[in-house]
Amino acid sequence: MGAMNDNPQLSPPIAAKKPSSVTFHGITVSDDYAWLRDAEYPKVDDKEVLAHLAAENAWFEARMKPHQATIDALFKEMRARIKEADKSVPQKDGDWLYWIEFEEGAEYKKWWRKPVAGGPDELILDEPALAEGKEYFRLGAISTSRDGKLLAYSVDDNGSERFTARIKDLATGEHLPDEIPGTLSGLSWVAGDKGLVYSLANEQWRTDNARLHWLGQSIDQDVELFHEDDDGFRVSASLSAAEDWLIIGTGDHETSEAWLVPVEAPLTPPRLVKARQKGVEYDVDLRPAGEGGTLFIHTNDSHENFRLATASFDKPEEWTTLIEGSDEFYLTGFELFRDFYVVDGRIRGLDRIEIRYYDDPARIEPIEFPETSYTAHLGNNPEFGQTVLRVGYESMVSPASTYDFEVANRELTLLKVQEIPSGYDRSLYATERLEVAARDGTKVPVSVMYRKDRRSPGPLHLYGYGAYGIAIPPGFSTTRLSLVDRGFAYAIAHIRGGDDLGRAWYKAGKLESRTNAFTDFVDVAKGLIDCGLTEEGRISISGGSAGGELMGAVINSDPELWGAVVAHVPFVDVLATMLDASLPLTPGEWPEWGNPIEDQAAFELIRSYSPYDNVKRQPYPPLLVTAGLNDPRVTYWEPAKWVARLRELKTDDNELLLKTNMGAGHGGKSGRFESLKETAEEFAFILWQMGV
């Protein structure tokens, strides 16, 4: 590992200590680095704050500069695995075939279509042109009107996740004067393509509304169709499968509610499906039939792994079970089509897609896949009358593949396999799914890949997330090969807090059970050592956001295990954030973490594991931390404060680097190659610290 400072012109920035404190439940929490939060946030123009972030960035640049050749080599090989001129498989929607295309060297894609009946290709949206001259660019929603004449889309050009929606006339290529700033939502066409439904982000970056914009009218005349009064809930709107109903959904991490509005009469008062009930989640779709049709409801009201129920339009609150909840089958979602419906789920953590039939409930036809560890999903299937389903498939060793599944004869046709221009020989690699016993006896799944010629024990990279019920699928990654081809095994720990093994798995890693996620990760690492794959100190680890919180927790508890740690936009100042109801996400996060303002037990539990609050005087492993100045999810000061406290207390000479993207947000830099540069930096740091 490099010495702490072999550049006399620069030294690690030491943040000023400015004592401050807060008191809740009679307990006082001190914070010497609270000043790093700009008092005018979300504006960040405090000169002392910006100077400190600039000094950290300069230190990052200085320490990484000697490794620029490695970064360049990694970037070159990662880029060489991407087919630069690439296009998706066209998909029919109405009278048109739609696809996306990347041109050679382009950071962003172009959106194309052509008439099904024949005719020239039409460029409908040019992302490279929209992104030109911008440090950051991200397309949010994109939606073609039902008659195919108009395109609504939204753009964020600074990473703040506040999108401006615009409407393009596809016949002329001109934009309509209509422009809606501050959106954070999809865009749904209603009323014969005369209206657009969207949600605005309020000052706290929360979508508490569904609004209707009439084309050609001023946005100050837009109508609020629905308003949510609970600060913790978020509102979204989408169209039903047959596009005849607008479904307005509202909810937090554990409770939801849905309302229905006819697409052709959007000013009709929304009709409630079923009143919210704490702890009950549900989502709905409608199968048209005469007046209103049949509601399909996906809910966890009677089983935590969800059931599928139906209801009549006249009595939407009376639900009849169609598919029972099951301990074995985790029912994650469904899609309705004219002649059949599709159920998505997981069995023992592996994806399962089932075709089912309205007129024969006993007829269940799963789509079969060849590998023992994989991830599969329904692709874009826009037509209600679809008879052939677009399906995506990949594994840790199988590049992403696009299939068409012909429902009538159950035939799977391969349309496209992700091409790796620099070459990829699948036979050189192996993947397996292990189970490691956690300290409480729970078996935790681990997906691992490595080269068959790898020597064990060797270096190993372990990735984890473990929050919000988000599963980490064992999918393919071209960047990952840069570690694996250098002798690393790459492992994904499917720890509690995600819903990889069902809803109970998620619940066992949240609220009062939160620390299971951290101990599972540590125990997986120790299990991988015990089975001979690696050794203590030869494990690099990474995680982002709530996965960054995981990184912070495990370096406090077991620093000696890790040879290098990368924490992306890490949620490490958990207690202070959950105590601040003015922050964008906080009220909606209380069902996930607990409300420490009102609940002393939640306060004490969060305080006991919050990474920032538990930094102590001990050696820490080498650490690379990233942040985004415009990040509304994990605010920039969380990683900045954490690094400042680590610099103050850690007793080692290991590297500690903080890189803040000054023009980006939660996702880092935009663009397919710009983001690769950040991965190349991350991997170069890992290789440097691991001595590989």
pLDDT tens-digit series, residues 174-202: 999 999 999 999 999 999 999 999 999 99
DSSP 601-666: HHHHHHHHH-TGGG--SS----EEEEEETT-SSS-THHHHHHHHHHHHH--S---EEEEEETT-BT
Look at residue 432 and tell me if it is in a domain.
yes
Tokens found for residue 68: 């620029």
Look at residue 343 and tell me if it is in a domain.
no
Look at residue 654 and tell me if it is in a domain.
yes
For 508, residues 6+ apart whose C-beta sits below 8 A from its C-beta are 442, 496, 497, 516
Beta bridge partners of 150: 169
CB 499, CB 306: distance < 8 Å:
no
Tokens found for residue 368: 């079969």
Number of domains in the chain: 1
Instruction: Please tell me the distance from the alpha carbon of residue 169 to that of residue 57, in angstroms, as a whole number.
Output: 44
- The length of the chain is 692
Instruction: Please tell me the distance from the alpha carbon of residue 120 to that of residue 591, in angstroms, as a whole number.
Output: 52
Determine how many CB atoms are found less than 10 A away from the CB of residue 681.
Answer: 23
Instruction: Please tell me the distance from the alpha carbon of residue 154 to that of residue 140, in angstroms, as a whole number.
Output: 5
Look at residue 74 and tell me if it is in a domain.
yes
Q: Answer whether residue 209 shows pLDDT above 70.
A: yes
pLDDT in tens, 82-110: 999 999 999 999 999 999 999 999 999 99
Instruction: Please tell me the distance from the alpha carbon of residue 223 to that of residue 227, in angstroms, as a whole number.
Output: 11
At residue 521, the 3 state secondary structure works out as helix
pLDDT in tens, 568-619: 999 999 999 999 998 877 888 999 999 999 999 999 999 999 999 999 999 9
Range 55-72 burial, b when 16+ CB lie within 10 A, else e? bbbebbebbbeebeebbe
Look at residue 579 and tell me if it is in a domain.
yes
pLDDT in tens, 612-623: 999 999 999 999
Helix axes of 674-690 and 68-80: crossing angle, nearest 10 degrees: 130
Mean of pLDDT over the chain: 95
Q: What does the pLDDT read at residue 667?
A: 65
Q: For the CA atoms of the chain, what is the radius of gyration?
A: 26
Nearest to 317 by CA among 275, 377, 286: 275
Residues designated catalytic: 545, 631, 666
Q: Answer whether residue 1 shows pLDDT above 50.
A: no
Nearest to 240 by CA among 111, 334, 339: 334
Q: Report the pLDDT averaged over residues 357-365.
A: 94
Look at residue 437 and tell me if it is in a domain.
yes
Instruction: Please tell me the distance from the alpha carbon of residue 164 to that of residue 181, in angstroms, as a whole number.
Output: 4
Q: What does the pLDDT read at residue 151?
A: 98
| Contacts by residues 290-298 (CB-CB < 8 Å, ≥ 24 positions apart) | 296/322, 296/334, 296/336, 296/341, 297/273, 298/331, 298/333, 298/334
Locate tokens 């679809």: which residue? 386
Phi, psi angle pair for 181, to nearest 5° = -80, 160
DSSP 360-408: EEEEEEEPP-S-SS-EEEE-----TT-SEEEEEEE-SSS--EEEEEETT
Q: What does the pLDDT read at residue 6?
A: 45
* Residue 3 pLDDT class (50, 70, 90 cuts): very low
Locate tokens 């922050």: which residue? 583
Locate tokens 């695995």: which residue? 81
User: Is the bond preceding 361 in cis, omega lying within 30 degrees of 0?
Assistant: no
Q: What does the pLDDT read at residue 584?
A: 76
Q: What does the pLDDT read at residue 8?
A: 42
Q: Answer whether residue 289 shows pLDDT above 80.
A: no
Q: What does the pLDDT read at residue 4?
A: 42
Nearest to 349 by CA among 378, 379, 325, 372: 372
Instruction: Please tell me the distance from the alpha carbon of residue 106 to that of residue 407, in angstroms, as a whole number.
Output: 37
* Residue 9 pLDDT class (50, 70, 90 cuts): low
Beta bridge partners of 404: 390, 413
Q: What does the pLDDT read at residue 291?
A: 65
Look at residue 446 and tell me if it is in a domain.
yes
The CATH number of residue 530's host domain is 3.40.50.1820
Instruction: Please tell me the distance from the alpha carbon of residue 509 to that of residue 517, in angstroms, as a whole number.
Output: 5
Look at residue 615 and tell me if it is in a domain.
yes
Q: Which domain holds residue 478?
A: 21-79+423-690
Tell me the pTM. Answer: 0.90
Q: Report the pLDDT averaged over residues 253-257.
A: 94
